[in-house]
C-alpha cells in the first residue's frame, strides 16, 4: 500500500523555518549556561495568553519545538499513522499530571535557594532539562512515528486547550479565533489531501460544521491544509469572515452535483501509463455532463475518498469517459490501476466545475494542455467542431509516447475543421520534426491579444503560461485554468 500521509512543506514563514535554532540553543546550550532556560518563562507566558484568544495557534505558527519537528525532522521521519492511544485523552491527562508533578517538585526544591546566586541557575536548569527532555523524546517519536507525535499530548498543548475553553467561555475567542473554513462544501473534491498533509493527522474535510468551520480543538492552525487543497477552497478565518466568504461564493458549475453510480464497460490505453475508462450510468440519474467538467470517482470508504477526473468523453447515450494517468507511488491511482476492472460498479459524484466551460459567444479560442491535462479538451474540441467554431490547441508532453489521444486530435483538426493542433515535445526522439520545448515556446509566437484562453495541466505550466499571456497583454478575465 502506498503511503497515505504526504510529506510536504509545513513551514511558510522564516519564524517557522528557523525557530528550531532556539530549541537547540536552550536544550543543549543550557547545559553550559543554565540561565538560558529562563527564556522559557516568556514562551510559556506568550503561548498561554495567545491560547485564550486563538486556541492552539501558537503550536502551528510560533512553537520552536514544532519548527524542529516540521522543518528538521520531517524529511527523515517515517511519517506513519499515529496509534489511536497516543491521541487519547487518557494519555494527554497522564502526561500532563506527570509533567506538572515533576515541575512543581523541582520548583519546591529550587525555592530553598531563593536569595542566593545559585537560585537563578537552578531555576533556569529546570526549564533546560524539560526542553531537553521534549527535544529528545519528541525527536525520537517524531522520527519513529510522525513528526508531530509529541504535540498530541504535549503538556503545553493541554494547557492551551484549557485556556482556550476559558477564553471561549469568557467570549474572548469570538473576534480573534481563526479556524480552518471551507468556502462551500459542494466544491470539495473529497480528495483527503487536507487530511493527508495534516501534521496532527486530523480529517478536516469530513468534519466541517454547519457554519463551514473546522472546530477541532487539536487543530494547530498551521495552514498546511490551506496551502495544499487542490480546490483552493480553504482559508483560516473567523466565524464572521467564513460567513462572508460563503455568501460571496458562486455555485456556477456545482449546482447539479449529485451522487450516482456507473459500471465500467470499457478500458483502453490511449498512451503509455494512461487508461481510459468508459462508465455507463442509469438514465434515471438525471445527470447531463458538459464538456470541460469533471467528476469524482470514489476510491475508498472510511474515510470516504474520491479522486477528481476531467471528463474525456460524453456519450453515446448514458456514457462518459475518464482518462487516468498512473502516478508513481500515487495513492488513488494505485487503487484504481490495481482494482478497477471491467463490469465493476463505481461510485461517482458530479458532474462539476466551471473553469473550462467555454463561453458560447467568444472567438479567438486558445486551448492549452499539459500532459494528462489534455482530457477535458477532447469533448470541448468535439463540441467546438460540431458547432463550426475555430480554436487553436497547444498541447505539451514529454515524448511522442506521452501524447494521449494524438490520433483523435489529428482527426479533429483535419483540414477545413477550423481547429489548429500544435503538439510540442520537451524530450522528443531525434527524428521528430514538430515543435520542441514547452507550450510557452509555441504561445510566445502566437498572436493572442484577442484570445480567450482555457488551460489545463500541471500547476507549473499554468503559472508560466499565465505570466506569459499577461506579458502579451491578455487580461486576466480572459484566462481560465484548472490544474490536473
Nearest residue to 233 via CA among 204, 259, 260, 256: 204
Spatial separation of the C-alpha atoms in residues 435 and 422, rounded to whole Å: 8
| Nearer to ligand FAD (CB atom), residue 71 or residue 310 | 310
Residue 193 within binding range of ligand SF4, rule CB under 6 A: yes
Residue with cell 474572548: 172
Under rule CB under 6 A, residue 192 binds ligand SF4: yes
194-213 binders of ligand SF4 (CB under 6 A): 194, 198-200, 202, 204-205
Stretch 40-79 residues interacting with ligand SF4 (CB under 6 A)? 60
Residue 465 binding result from ligand FAD, ligand SF4, none, given CB thresholds of 5 to 8 Å by partner type: none
Per-residue binding letters, 453-482, with ligand FAD (x by CB under 6 A): -----------------------------x
Q: How far is CA 392 from the centre of its chain?
A: 32
Residues 204-243, interacting with ligand FAD (CB under 6 A) = 230
Residue number with CB closer to ligand FAD (177 or 482): 482
**Is residue 453 within 8 Å of residue 467, measured between CB atoms?**
no
Lookup result for grid cell 480546490: 231
Q: How many residues does this entry show for the chain?
A: 484
**Burial of 317 per CB tally in 10 Å (0-12, 13-18, 19+):** exposed
| Residue 401: CB minimum distance to ligand FAD, A | 16
Nearest residue to 270 via CA among 164, 129, 160, 372: 372
Query: How large is the C-alpha radius of gyration of the chain?
Result: 27
Angle 304-306-311 from CA coordinates, rounded to 5°: 155
Phi, psi of 127 (to 5 degrees): -75, -35
Q: Residue 35 CB, nearest distance to ligand FAD (Å)?
A: 41
Q: Give the nearer residue to ligand FAD in terms of CB position, either 127 or 294.
A: 294
Q: Which residues pair with 348 in a beta bridge?
A: 260, 297
- The one of ligand FAD, ligand SF4, none whose footprint includes residue 200, by CB under 5 to 8 A per kind, is ligand SF4
- Based on the shown chain and the rule CB under 6 A, indicate whether residue 7 belongs to the binding site for ligand FAD: yes
Q: What is the DSSP string of 178-190?
A: -EEEES-GGG---
* Contact status: 325 vs ligand FAD (CB under 6 A): yes
Which one, of 373, 405, 274, lies nearest residue 330 by Cα?
A: 274
Between residues 160 and 333, which has the closer beta carbon with respect to ligand FAD? Answer: 333
* Binding positions for ligand FAD, 353-372, rule CB under 6 A: 353, 372
Task: Considering only the stretches 184-192, 313-321, 323-331, 363-371, report the one whose residues sit in contact with ligand SF4 under the rule CB under 6 A.
Answer: 184-192
Which among ligand SF4, ligand FAD, none contacts residue 327 (Cβ within 5 to 8 A by kind)? ligand FAD
| In the complex, least distance from residue 311 CB atom to ligand SF4, rounded to whole angstroms | 18
Helices (H), 217-330: 224-228, 239-248
- With CB under 6 A as the contact rule, the residue among 189, 257, 275, 385 that binds ligand SF4 is 189
Q: Which is nearer to ligand SF4, 257 or 406 (CB)?
A: 257
Burial class of 372 by CB neighbour count within 10 A (0 to 12, 13 to 18, 19+) = buried
Q: Say which entry of ligand SF4, ligand FAD, none residue 458 contacts (CB below 5 to 8 A, set by partner kind).
A: none
The span from the CA of 276 to the CA of 269, in Å, is 6
435-436 and 319-325 beta bridge pairing: unpaired
Q: What is the largest CA-CA distance in the chain?
A: 96
CB-wise, 251 or 363, nearer to ligand FAD? 251
Examine residue 3 and tell whether it contacts ligand FAD (CB under 6 A).
yes
Contacts with ligand SF4 by CB under 6 A: the residue count is 29
- Residue 229 within binding range of ligand SF4, rule CB under 6 A: yes
Sign of CA dihedral 187, 193, 199, 205: positive
Residue closer to ligand SF4 (CB basis): 184 or 400: 184
Restricting to residues 281-320, which ones interact with ligand FAD according to CB under 6 A? 294, 307-310
308 φ, ψ (degrees, to nearest 5): -85, 130
The one-character DSSP state at 337 is H
Q: From the list 134, 222, 295, 479, which residue makes contact with ligand SF4 (rule: CB under 6 A)?
A: 222
Segment contacting ligand SF4 by CB under 6 A, of 182-190, 255-263, 290-298, 358-366: 182-190
What is the C-alpha end-to-end distance of the chain, expressed in Å? 23
The binder of ligand FAD chosen from 77, 333, 392, 451 (CB under 6 A):
333
Residue 466: φ, ψ to 5°:
-60, -45
CB-nearer residue toward ligand FAD: 196 or 435: 196
Q: Which CB atom, from 202 or from 290, has the smaller least distance to ligand SF4?
A: 202
Cα 267 from Cα 251, distance rounded (Å): 33
**Taking contact as CB under 6 A, which single stretch among the options 84-92, 134-142, 185-193, 469-477 is the one that binds ligand SF4?**
185-193
CA distance 123 to 61: 27
Give the binding site for ligand FAD (CB under 6 A).
Answer: 3, 6-7, 230, 294, 307-310, 323-325, 327, 329-333, 353, 372, 375, 482-484
The site for ligand SF4 (CB under 6 A) is made up of: 60, 180, 182, 188-194, 198-200, 202, 204-205, 214, 219-225, 229-231, 233-234
Amino acid at each position: 500500500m502506498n503511503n497515505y500521509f504526504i510529506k510536504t512543506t509545513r513551514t511558510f514563514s522564516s519564524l517557522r523555518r528557523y525557530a528550531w535554532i532556539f530549541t537547540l540553543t536552550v536544550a543543549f546550550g543550557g547545559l553550559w549556561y543554565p540561565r538560558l532556560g529562563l527564556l522559557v518563562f516568556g514562551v510559556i507566558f506568550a503561548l498561554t495568553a495567545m491560547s485564550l484568544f486563538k486556541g492552539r495557534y501558537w503550536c502551528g505558527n510560533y512553537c520552536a519545538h514544532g519548527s524542529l519537528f516540521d522543518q528538521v525532522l520531517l524529511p527523515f521521519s517515517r511519517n506513519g499513522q499515529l496509534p489511536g492511544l497516543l491521541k487519547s485523552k487518557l494519555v494527554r491527562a497522564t502526561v500532563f499530571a506527570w509533567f506538572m508533578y515533576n515541575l512543581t517538585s523541582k520548583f519546591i526544591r529550587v525555592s530553598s535557594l531563593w536569595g542566593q546566586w545559585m537560585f537563578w541557575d537552578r531555576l533556569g536548569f529546570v526549564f533546560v532539562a524539560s526542553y531537553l527532555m521534549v527535544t529528545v523524546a519528541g525527536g525520537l517519536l517524531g522520527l519513529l512515528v510522525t513528526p508531530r507525535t509529541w504535540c498530541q499530548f504535549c503538556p503545553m498543548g493541554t494547557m492551551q486547550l484549557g485556556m482556550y475553553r476559558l477564553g471561549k467561555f469568557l467570549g474572548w475567542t469570538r473576534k480573534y479565533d481563526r479556524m480552518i473554513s471551507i468556502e462551500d462544501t459542494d466544491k470539495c473534491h473529497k480528495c483527503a489531501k487536507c487530511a493527508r498533509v495534516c501534521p496532527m493527522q486530523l480529517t478536516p474535510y469530513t468534519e466541517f460544521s454547519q457554519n463551514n468551520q473546522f472546530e477541532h480543538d487539536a487543530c494547530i492552525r498551521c495552514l498546511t491544509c490551506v496551502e495544499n487543497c487542490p480546490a483552493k477552497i480553504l482559508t483560516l478565518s473567523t466565524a464572521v469572515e467564513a460567513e462572508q466568504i460563503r455568501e460571496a461564493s458562486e455555485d456556477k458549475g456545482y449546482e447539479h452535483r449529485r451522487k450516482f453510480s456507473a459500471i465500467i464497460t470499457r478500458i483502453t490505453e490511449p498512451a503509455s501509463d494512461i487508461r481510459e475508462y468508459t462508465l455507463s450510468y442509469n438514465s434515471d440519474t438525471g445527470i447531463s455532463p458538459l464538456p470541460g467538467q469533471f467528476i469524482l470517482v470514489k476510491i475508498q470508504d472510511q474515510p470516504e475518498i474520491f479522486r477528481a477526473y476531467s471528463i474525456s468523453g460524453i456519450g453515446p447515450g448514458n456514457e462518459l469517459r475518464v482518462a487516468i494517468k498512473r502516478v508513481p507511488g500515487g495513492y488513488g491511482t494505485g487503487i484504481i490501476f490495481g482494482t478497477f476492472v471491467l463490469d465493476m460498479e463505481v461510485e461517482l459524484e458530479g458532474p462539476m466545475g466551471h473553469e473550462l466551460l467555454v463561453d458560447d459567444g467568444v472567438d479567438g479560442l486558445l486551448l492549452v494542455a499539459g500532459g494528462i491535462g489534455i482530457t477535458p479538451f477532447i469533448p470541448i474540441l468535439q463540441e467546438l467542431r460540431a458547432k463550426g467554431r475555430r480554436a487553436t490547441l497547444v498541447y505539451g508532453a514529454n515524448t511522442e509516447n506521452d501524447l494521449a489521444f494524438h490520433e483523435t486530435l489529428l482527426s479533429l483538426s483535419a483540414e477545413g475543421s477550423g481547429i489548429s493542433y500544435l503538439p510540442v515535445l520537451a524530450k522528443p526522439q531525434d527524428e521528430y520534426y514538430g515543435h520542441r520545448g514547452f507550450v510557452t515556446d509555441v504561445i510566445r509566437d502566437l498572436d493572442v491579444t484577442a484570445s480567450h484562453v482555457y488551460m489545463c495541466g500541471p500547476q507549473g505550466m499554468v503559472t508560466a503560461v499565465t505570466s506569459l499571456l499577461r506579458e502579451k497583454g491578455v487580461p486576466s478575465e480572459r484566462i481560465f485554468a484548472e490544474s490536473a
